[in-house]
Amino acid sequence: MKMDCATDLRPQAQSLASRYAGQTVLAIGAHPDDLEIGVGGTLAKLRKSGAKVVMVVASIPKDFDVRLEEAKRGAQILGCELRILFDRGPTRIEDVKTCDLVGMLDDVIREYNPAAMLTHSDADFHNDHLLIYQACLPTQRLAHFDFYSYHPTNCRPVPVRFHPRAYVDITDTIDAKMHAITAHASQFGGRGLDTEMYREFAHLQGRMVGVPYAEGLDVSRMLLS
Q: Which is nearer to Zn ion, 60 or 115 (CB)?
A: 60
Q: Which is nearer to Zn ion, 34 or 218 (CB)?
A: 34
Q: Which residue has the closest beta carbon to Zn ion?
A: 31
Q: Smallest distance, Å, CB 129 to Zn ion?
A: 6
CB atoms within 10 A of CB 148: 25
Task: Write out the residues near Zn ion by the rule CB under 5 A.
Answer: 30-31, 34
Q: Smallest distance, Å, CB 154 to Zn ion?
A: 8
Q: Are 52 and 27 in contact (CB under 8 A)?
A: no
Q: Smallest distance, Å, CB 144 to Zn ion?
A: 28
Q: What is d(CA 209, CA 217) in angstroms, rounded to the nearest whole number?
A: 13
Q: What is d(CA 6, CA 45) in angstroms, rounded to the nearest whole number?
A: 25
Q: Are 127 and 135 in contact (CB under 8 A)?
A: no
Q: What is d(CA 157, CA 60) in angstroms, rounded to the nearest whole number?
A: 22
Q: Which is nearer to Zn ion, 31 or 83 (CB)?
A: 31
Q: Which is nearer to Zn ion, 51 or 71 (CB)?
A: 71
Q: Which is nearer to Zn ion, 24 or 187 (CB)?
A: 187
Q: Which is nearer to Zn ion, 58 or 115 (CB)?
A: 58
Q: Smallest distance, Å, CB 85 to Zn ion?
A: 13
Q: What is d(CA 185, CA 163) in angstroms, rounded to the nearest whole number?
A: 29
Q: Smallest distance, Å, CB 225 to Zn ion?
A: 35
Q: Smallest distance, Å, CB 187 to Zn ion?
A: 9
